[in-house]
Amino acid sequence: GFSKQMVEILSRHGVAFSSFDIFSDEEVRQGLKTFSNWPTYPQLYVAGELIGGLDIIKELEASGELDTICPKAQKLEDRLKSLINKAPVMLFMKGNKQMAKCGFSKQIIEIMNNTGFPNSCLLFQVRQGLKSFSNWPTYPQLYVKGELVGGLDIVK
């Protein structure tokens, strides 16, 4: 229950965080108690420093300090802009260059390979958000210098 409360608080505040299941590794579980000199879980760390357990996080939330201590998750639009501009040419597709997971993605890879076009591919994590961001309902999506060129039909 305490871990669930911690996750709810962090999520409510839009905090970017990862977690580790202490039940998955008893050595880590016991070692972290010694390392941190904090006998209970959950334990929240920011930039490698122990902030505290649930009671401390609740106090920080009540005082408004939690928002200044914890890093915020990057907004999806900012993340998408960053990904689109990661390389001069970005291809968002289903699968990867070696194993396209749909016929359209396979065709666009073939076109790009046959024309000597350099490309970078991305995974599925941004799939739905990118459709809304680009106002383009399908994949693949080809971007050049951060601008949407289009899908397979446009590339052809």
Q: What is the pLDDT of residues 13-53, one digit of tens each?
A: 988 888 999 999 999 999 999 999 999 999 999 989 999 99
**Could you give phi then psi for residue 136, rounded to 5 degrees?**
-130, 115
Which of 15, 34, 69 finishes a domain? Answer: 69
Q: Which of 17, 41, 69 is the last residue of a domain?
A: 69
Same domain, 98 and 62: no
Q: Tell the burial category of 7 from Cβ atoms under 10 Å away from its Cβ (0-12, 13-18, 19+).
A: middle
Q: What's the CATH code of the domain at 58?
A: 3.40.30.10
- 49 and 102 housed in the same domain: no
Q: Give helix 76-84 / helix 127-134 axis angle, nearest 10°.
A: 80
* CA–CA separation, 141 and 154 (whole Å): 10
Tens digit of each residue's pLDDT (9 = 90 or more) over 52-69: 999 999 999 999 999 999
Whether 92 and 49 map to the same domain: the answer is no
Together in a domain, 35 and 99: no
Confidence of residue 135 (pLDDT cuts 50, 70, 90): confident
- Residue 10 domain boundaries: 2-69
How is residue 23 annotated by DSSP? Answer: G
Number of independent structural domains in the chain: 2
pLDDT at 126 (0 to 100): 55
Q: What is the DSSP secondary structure assignment for residue 15, as one 8-state letter?
A: B
Same domain, 147 and 92: yes
Q: Are 53 and 43 in contact (CB under 8 A)?
A: yes
The DSSP annotation for 72-130 comes to BPPPHHHHHHHHHTSSSEEEE-SB-SSSBSSHHHHHHHHHHHHTT---EEE-GGGHHHH
> Are residues 89 and 150 located together in one domain of the fold?
yes
